[in-house]
Amino acid sequence: GVDGKWDFPSPECKKVKCPRPSIPYGNVANVFQATYTYQDNLQIECNLGYTLSGSSLIRCGADNQWKPSLPRCDKIPTTSKPTKSPTPAVPSTPPIPPRPGTVSPKEDDTEATARPPTTTQTTPKDESGSGKVVGIAIGAAIAVIVLAALIFAAVKWFCLQGKANTHPASTDNYRVVSEKDVALEPKSKD
């Protein structure tokens, strides 16, 4: 300003958190979080039999409040059909044929029922990347398990190879003896 002071207060930086809203007879279609930060958008849906009153999209504002204000889910009124008294199968008086050249109105048993407007809402994609984190974690766990199995198999194979190549005694100290060799040996006299 003219006097060397700021005309407006200096800006401040603050952490903005909006709590997860609770909508009776409705829900938040986004990934669950306990709190949301500045400018986060949420999609609101109503349960079956309820209609949304207000905006289906809300945003976390700088004042830690949802903008526009939270919508509500109102019960859709049901209309019941009036009961008809039973009509006799055969009319009590014979029908009077119409005169030539006249059109008789058609009897119609259908009833018109008013239905409230329905809205189609799409669930927004998970933009936070939590699906990627879960995928990476699962992939890493599988890789560790496969690596451990390979190491175990290699150790087991080397152990079996070692047992197959080691002999308890050398075969050079032994020779095959035939019956003739045994027969030629002198018998000892006891």
- CATH code reported for the domain at 17-75: 2.10.70.10
Please give the pLDDT value at position 108: 47
Provide the pairing of β-strand 26-28 with 50-53. Answer: unpaired
Q: Give CA separation, 95 vs 61, 98, 99, 106, in Å.
A: 72, 9, 12, 14
Residue 178 to residue 94: CA distance in whole angstroms: 127
User: Tokens 């109102």 sit at which residue?
Assistant: 74
Residue 56 to residue 34: CA distance in whole angstroms: 19
Please give the pLDDT value at position 168: 54
Please give the pLDDT value at position 68: 94
Please give the pLDDT value at position 37: 93
So where are the chain's domains?
A: 17-75
User: Tokens 């050398």 sit at which residue?
Assistant: 170
Please give the pLDDT value at position 184: 55
Residue by residue, pLDDT tens for the chain (190 residues) are 678 787 778 778 889 999 999 999 999 988 888 999 999 999 999 999 999 999 999 999 999 999 999 999 999 988 766 566 555 555 555 556 555 554 544 444 444 444 455 555 554 454 555 667 888 889 999 999 999 999 999 898 888 877 655 555 555 555 666 666 555 555 666 5
